[in-house]
Each structure stands twice: as C-alpha cells, then as structure tokens.
Amino acid sequence: MKIVVTGAGGMLGSDVAAVAERMSHEVVALDREELDVTDPGRVERLIVREQPGAVINCAAWTDVDGAEEHEADAELINGEGAGFVADAAAKAGAKVIYVSTDYVFDGSEQGPYTESDETKPINAYGRSKLAGERATAHFNRASFIVRSSWLFGPAGGNFVETMLRLGEGGGPVVVVHDQVGCPTYTGHLAAGLVRLVDSGSYGVHHMSGAGSCSWYEFAMEIFRQAEVVTRVMSSTSEMMKRPARRPANSVLASGREAPIELPDWKRGLADYLKRREQPKPERPPAQRAAGSTVRRQPVLDLHRESEGAEVAEEAADDQGGDVRGQATADPGAEERE
C-alpha cells in the first residue's frame, strides 16, 4: 500500500515511516518543510496527486504549555489542519489515521479511560486535539482516531532523555508523583499504527504502552534500567505551577473486542535504551511527493517535538512530565512536527 506520512521528521512520524517501509509499504514521508498542513490547497493537491491508499497524520502542535498562550495556533494545526488532511485523503479515496492524546480526558475517573468514555479536556492542547478528532471523523468516514500517551522516542526530546541528562549531572531530580499515565515507546506505537491502517476497523482506538505508572515511578525505572545512580525526590503538580493543567489520571485502556495491544511500557523503555546505544544507520532521503517544493511551516519557534517537562524553565519531554533538576531550580519544586 502507498502510505503518506505527515510530520515524518518528528519523533513519532519518523518511526512510522521507517516501520511502514520495513513492512513493504511504499512510503511518501513528508516533514514540516515539505507539507504545511494548515494550507488546505497544498494539502489537497499533494495528497490527491499521490493517490495513496492511506495517510497517517503525525503532524501536530505538541507544546502543551505553549498552547495555553497560543491556542488559536494549536487549534489551526491540530484541529483545522487535521480536517484538511482528512478531507484530502477522502478525495483521494484514502484511509486516514489521526494520532490523538490522553489529554482529551479530564483525569477525574478512578480507573482507565476507554474509547467510549466522555471527553472533557482541561487544557488548550487537549481541546485542539479533540477538535482534530472531530474534524477527521467528519471529513473522512474511513478514519481511525488513535489516542496514545506519554510518548518517547529517538527523534526528539523526551522525558527519558531529560531524566538521563539530569541524573548523570548528579541530581537530585524532583518529579511529580500525582499524575498517572501510560508511557509509550514510539517504535511500538508506530508498529501498531501500521498494523491498524491495514485493517478496516475504523473509529476511535486507544493504543499506548501496557501498564501504567506515575512520572515519579517512570523516572525511577529509567534510572534503574540505565544503571544511573542519582537522588530522586517526589513532588506534586500544585508545587510545579505549570501554565497548563494536566489530568491526574490519563491511563488508557481499550474496550474493543480485538484491540491492537502494545508491549508493556517497561519493555518499551528497555527497547528504547538499547536502540539509543546503537549507531544511527544512514538512511537514503525520504521519497518526496511528485512536484513538491520545500515550504517552511509558520510559527516554527512555538513548536517543539518535546513539550512537557520543565528543566530550569526548558521544555524537555513529550507529554507533560513535570520535573526539575534541583541544582538549577527552586528547592522543593518539581507536538511539533
């Protein structure tokens, strides 16, 4: 199958393109310079010209805190942009996958969230992603909405790298313990997405690393597996004072009869740590769309592949992990492609 991957230069999109190629699909991988998803005319021309069997839309604004101040920009990319991609895919007769987030939920439930649970985002980022879900489903009946969470992978800043940097710097490291979710390795999620696109199981899917933990527990496991000795302290979300509220519970589970299940998050962490030790293979340039030209995305300075963790005022993880290096922060305190 011919698959167009948007956001192919990002943490998830790069893995999706690589996995799809390994599974013998013909891949047209488009990074943000090659396709501005907020330009409906260009999106339609490119996708209709390519005539793919499927489009996997990984282009997104992922700066959770930044979306609070720039909600219209986040909405343009995550909401309207998703609609443009889905509409163009429909006109080309193609399926579309839209990658969404656990942040469409408010975190008030005691147990895991399934596909049928009510959405109620509590921050601008979550609202923009929910808008993208609705736009995708509206414009393309052959659509998959895939919610995942707490992503980490090799092609972008993420919580694992933040922890290793702080831990190897001597620590101590302070991490929140009152936010619980499912860490997800992009290599595993990418494989799940490519499996899903080969099916006709349209609708909403939850797909994240099996099991759950708090950011504090995640940090402890990172240091254990990486064999880094450092001091780790726990804190609360209230002490971190982030611009965007995070759901206390964003654990995802699937209520489908035959869901695509990903490996346990600890296995994902192990696979990631093993992969980061290997030399990066040289890959040939990704196939470009016929007649494509390089085009810069707008407001690039506001879009970071890493979007949540704060280390001395620097965003450094993918989905909301609140952390600070004690040596460079107040004592006791805790996307885009």
End-to-end CA distance of the chain: 24
Q: Which amino acid type is present at position 136?
A: T
Neighbours of 175 (CB within 10 A): 28
Distance CA 60, CA 76 (A): 10
Q: At what angle do helices 81-91 and 40-50 cross, to 10 degrees?
A: 30
Q: Which residues make beta-bridge pairs with 310?
A: 315
Burial class (CB in 10 A: 0-12, 13-18, 19+), 44: middle
Known active-site residue 272: no
Rounded CA-CA distance 89/59 in Å is: 15
Looking at the DSSP assignment, which residues form a beta bridge with residue 98? 57, 145
Please say whether the beta carbons of 128 and 75 come within 8 A.
yes
Tokens 């343009």 -> residue: 76
Sheet order of strands, 95-101 included:
26-30, 2-6, 54-57, 95-101, 143-148, 203-206
The residue from 98, 125, 185, 272 that is catalytic is: 125
Residue type, 186: T
State the Cα–Cα distance between residues 213 and 82, nearest whole angstrom.
30
Give the tokens for residue 306: 């890493």
Q: Which residues have a catalytic role annotated?
A: 125
